[in-house]
């Protein structure tokens, strides 16, 4: 542990320096790079950091350079590619970046191994790589290479192992790969390859592993695959391959793993499948369009450990012979059309599986097995950890007590069947149980206290049954519980106070029961809660203000209860909230303006309450429709929400309109009427006398009279605003009635002008 001793660099005659697995830190001492006799520099599995020194190129007779599994960064110095004596370059598991030079192999005629996997190198794979004619292992996996696989790779006729997986490489697999006559492993998983698999690959008789999973390859697997007599692993999963699976695959006596899952293969399995693959350990065919029956001969594949046939169209009986697979660990038949024997009332095949003492995973879900779940389930391997029998049309008997014998079970799912009776008390013996799914049955009675013995239980899902009684107080002792779903039962009484003491629970769904009484302020204890659904119950009282403590809450549904009082302002503190449903209660008051701060809120419903006041317009409220607010007492707001306009807005708009009329419209109308009166008078006078009137005729001075200010004051009621006809930039016009009954219009100039009035 610690830094290197610089004195090592003075050992000029040293040929071999092996310091791997020593916890060294710091950087490579420059003195190391002066050891001119060095042939092997092995520094793997330390914590060395920094750049690879450019002076590494000084080691001109170096044959092995191994710095794998350190913390090196930066680009690979070009000087390394000039060390013509190098046979092994091992740079894997660092943080190297940059790209490979075009001249990569120009000066490396002896290179046999190039390990660069698990770095951050990008760019193209240089075509000059084909000049490394002695190369036997090329590992570029888990980097950021892009572009195509260079055709020049076909020149590496000594190559035995080619690893390219998990890069950004695209295009087709070049047919020149077929020239790699000594190739044993071809691993190009997780790329962006398309097109067909070149037939030339299936002529490489030395191939032991072909792994091309997670690409977009299409076409069929040619029958020539049967020529690969050394093939042990065939991994073509997650592609777009189609056609029937060549029967010649099952002639390969060396094959250990066949993984063709998630493609479009169709057809049936050969009836003698088990006789020809004695070494087969894994057969994964799920997610295709395969049909027919499971051949009973499969039991002759005595080394089979994983059999995965789910999501196909297999039919018929599940063969008893599966019980002969003594090493079987994983059996998944989910989502097919398997049936049980018509002459039996039970699943007789289940008894035969008791011979599979290493069985850890059994999935029979989504098959029309019907019948009754047999008591022989208790005879299954004590190693069984996962048992799924969902949606199997299991008849309405109770869950067998013998299920308590599955001492190692971690997940037990019997959901969506026709089980009746009560939850067996023997379930308390399942001490390792983490997931219990009994939802969608007809289970009755109360939730047994024995369920609280499951201290490791993480998920309890028993919704959609006919359970009754109260929620057990001891549930709060299940400190590992993260998901609790008791919805759609007949549970009653109040929620026990202990219930609100869960420390790690993330999801609670108690909806559609008959739970009553109030929700206490102790709800604040559920600090990490994400979803809370208490809807469709008989809960009452006020929504506790302490609910603001649930900072992680994303869903809150309290609808269809009897909650009353105001919506707490504190709900605006639920900063993660995405869905809030308070509909169908007796809530009153206003919608708190604090809710506009809920920037993640996507669903909001307060309909069918007694709310009033203005609907907020900021934040997420711009995205909600009328359905969120319908059937309330007196909500008001924007027209698109189909509620009345708010009164304050109406009054303000009316005042604004009146001011416009008084300020602009009335003076204009009065002026136009005065002009029209003068014109009419002029016309009449002209008609009578045939001549224009004089000034005295138009404006008889003798009729003018001076009116005292006091009388004007009384005539306009003290220039009251109610008598205001209009106003302009120079003054205002009032109407008034003089003491002799004459109606007058009085203009009052701005008081700032001397002598106004």
Which residue ranges are tagged as binding site for ATP?
747
- Cα-atom radius of gyration of the chain, to the nearest Å? 44
Instruction: Say how many CA atoms lie within 13 Å of 113 toward its Cβ.
Output: 11
Q: Are strands 306-308 and 257-259 parallel, antiparallel or unpaired?
A: unpaired
Helix (H, G, I), strand (E, B) or coil at 123: strand
Helix (H, G, I), strand (E, B) or coil at 525: helix
251: alpha, beta or left? (left if phi > 0; alpha if psi -120 to 50): alpha
Which DSSP string do the residues of 321-369 spell out, in sequence order? GGGG-TT--EEE--SSEEE--TT-SB-HHHHHGGG-TT--EEE--SS--
Whole-angstrom distance, CA of residue 379 vs CA of residue 350: 9
Q: Are strands 731-737 and 724-727 parallel, antiparallel or unpaired?
A: antiparallel
Whole-angstrom distance, CA of residue 48 vs CA of residue 26: 5
The closest alpha carbon to 362, from 318, 397, 296, belongs to 318
Helix (H, G, I), strand (E, B) or coil at 483: strand
Whole-angstrom distance, CA of residue 225 vs CA of residue 201: 9
Whole-angstrom distance, CA of residue 480 vs CA of residue 473: 16
Q: Bridge-partner residues for 168, per DSSP?
A: 146
By CB neighbour count within 10 A (0-12 exposed, 13-18 middle, 19+ buried), where does 284 fall?
A: buried
Helix (H, G, I), strand (E, B) or coil at 745: strand
Whole-angstrom distance, CA of residue 61 vs CA of residue 283: 49
Residue 83's alpha-carbon distances to 78, 99, 105, 197, 272, in angstroms, are 10, 18, 11, 37, 56
Whole-angstrom distance, CA of residue 158 vs CA of residue 76: 25
Which DSSP string do the residues of 566-585 spell out, in sequence order? EPPGGGGG-TT--EEE--SS
Helix (H, G, I), strand (E, B) or coil at 426: helix
Structure tokens at 35: 């050891």
Whole-angstrom distance, CA of residue 543 vs CA of residue 554: 17
Whole-angstrom distance, CA of residue 528 vs CA of residue 289: 43
The closest alpha carbon to 387, from 440, 331, 462, belongs to 331
Contact 469, 475 (CB under 8 A): no
By CB neighbour count within 10 A (0-12 exposed, 13-18 middle, 19+ buried), where does 6 fall?
A: exposed
Helix (H, G, I), strand (E, B) or coil at 201: helix
Place of tokens 């300020």: 663
Give the annotated binding-site residues. 747
Contact 204, 180 (CB under 8 A): yes
């Amino acid at each position: 542990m610690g830094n290197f001793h610089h004195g090592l660099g003075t050992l000029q005659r040293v040929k071999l320096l092996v310091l791997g697995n020593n916890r060294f830190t710091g950087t490579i001492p420059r003195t190391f790079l002066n050891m001119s006799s060095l042939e092997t520099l092995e520094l793997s599995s330390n914590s060395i950091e920094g750049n690879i020194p450019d002076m590494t190129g000084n080691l001109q007779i170096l044959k092995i350079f191994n710095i794998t599994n350190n913390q090196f960064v930066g680009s690979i110095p070009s000087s390394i590619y000039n060390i013509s004596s190098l046979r092994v370059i091992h740079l894997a598991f660092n943080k190297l970046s940059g790209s490979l030079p075009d001249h990569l192999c120009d000066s490396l005629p002896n290179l046999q191994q190039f390990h660069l996997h698990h770095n951050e190198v990008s760019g193209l794979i240089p075509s000059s790589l084909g000049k490394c004619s002695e190369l036997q292992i090329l590992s570029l996996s888990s980097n950021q290479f892009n572009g195509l696989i260079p055709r020049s790779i076909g020149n590496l006729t000594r190559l035995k192992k080619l690893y390219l997986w998990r890069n950004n490489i695209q295009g087709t697999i070049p047919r020149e790969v077929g020239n790699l006559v000594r190739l044993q492993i071809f691993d190009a998983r997780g790329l962006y390859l398309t097109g067909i698999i070149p037939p030339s690959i299936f002529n490489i008789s030395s191939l032991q592993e072909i792994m091309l999973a997670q690409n977009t390859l299409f076409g069929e697997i040619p029958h020539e695959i049967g020529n690969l007599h050394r093939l042990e692993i065939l991994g073509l999963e997650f592609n777009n391959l189609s056609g029937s699976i060549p029967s010649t695959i099952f002639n390969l006596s060396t094959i250990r793993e066949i993984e063709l899952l998630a493609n479009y293969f169709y057809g049936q399995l050969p009836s003698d499948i088990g006789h020809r693959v004695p070494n087969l350990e894994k057969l994964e065919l799920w997610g295709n369009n395969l049909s027919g029956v499971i051949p009973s001969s499969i039991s002759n594949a005595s080394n089979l450990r994983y059999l995965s046939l789910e999501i196909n169209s297999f039919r018929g009986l599940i063969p008893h012979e599966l019980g002969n697979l003594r090493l079987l660990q994983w059996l998944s038949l989910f989502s097919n059309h398997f049936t049980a024997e018509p002459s039996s009332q039970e699943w007789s095949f289940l008894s035969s599986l008791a011979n599979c003492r290493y069985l850890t995973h059994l999935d029979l879900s989504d098959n029309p097995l019907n019948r009754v779940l047999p008591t022989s389930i208790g005879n299954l391997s004590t190693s069984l950890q996962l048992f799924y029998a969902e949606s199997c049309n299991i008849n309405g008997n109770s869950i067998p007590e013998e299920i308590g014998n599955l001492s190692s079970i971690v997940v037990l799912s019997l959901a969506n069947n026709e089980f009746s009776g009560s939850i067996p008390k023997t379930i308390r013996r399942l001490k390792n149980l983490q997931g219990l799914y009994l939802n969608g049955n007809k289970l009755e009675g109360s939730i047994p206290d024995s369920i609280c013995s499951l201290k490791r239980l993480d998920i309890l899902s028993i919704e959609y049954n006919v359970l009754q009684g109260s929620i057990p107080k001891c549930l709060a002792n299940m400190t590992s519980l993260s998901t609790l779903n008791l919805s759609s039962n007949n549970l009653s009484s109040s929620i026990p106070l202990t219930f609100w003491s869960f420390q790690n629970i993330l999801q609670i769904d108690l909806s559609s029961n008959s739970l009553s009484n109030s929700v206490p302020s102790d709800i604040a204890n559920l600090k990490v809660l994400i979803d809370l659904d208490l809807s469709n119950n008989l809960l009452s009282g006020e929504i506790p203000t302490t609910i603001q403590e649930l900072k992680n809450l994303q869903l809150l549904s309290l609808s269809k209860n009897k909650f009353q009082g105001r919506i707490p302002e504190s709900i605006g503190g639920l900063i993660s909230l995405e869905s809030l449903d308070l509909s169908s209660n007796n809530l009153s008051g206003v919608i708190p303006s604090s809710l506009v701060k809920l920037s993640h809120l996507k669903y909001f419903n307060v309909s069918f309450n007694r709310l009033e006041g203005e609907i907020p317009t900021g934040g997420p409220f711009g995205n909600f429709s009328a359905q969120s607010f319908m059937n309330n007492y007196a909500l008001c707001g924007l027209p698109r929400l189909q509620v009345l306009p708010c009164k304050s807005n109406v009054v303000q708009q009316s005042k604004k309109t009146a001011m416009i009329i008084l300020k602009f419209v009335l003076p204009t109308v009065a002026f136009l009427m005065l002009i029209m009166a003068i014109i009419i008078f002029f016309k009449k006078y002209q008609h009578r006398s045939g001549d224009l009137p004089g000034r005295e005729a138009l404006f008889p001075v003798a009729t003018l009279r001076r009116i005292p200010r006091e009388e004007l004051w009384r005539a306009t009621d003290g220039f009251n605003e109610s008598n205001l006809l209009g106003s302009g930039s120079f003054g205002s016009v009032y109407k008034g009635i003089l003491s002799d009954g004459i109606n007058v219009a009085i203009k009052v100039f701005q008081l700032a002008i001397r002598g106004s009035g």
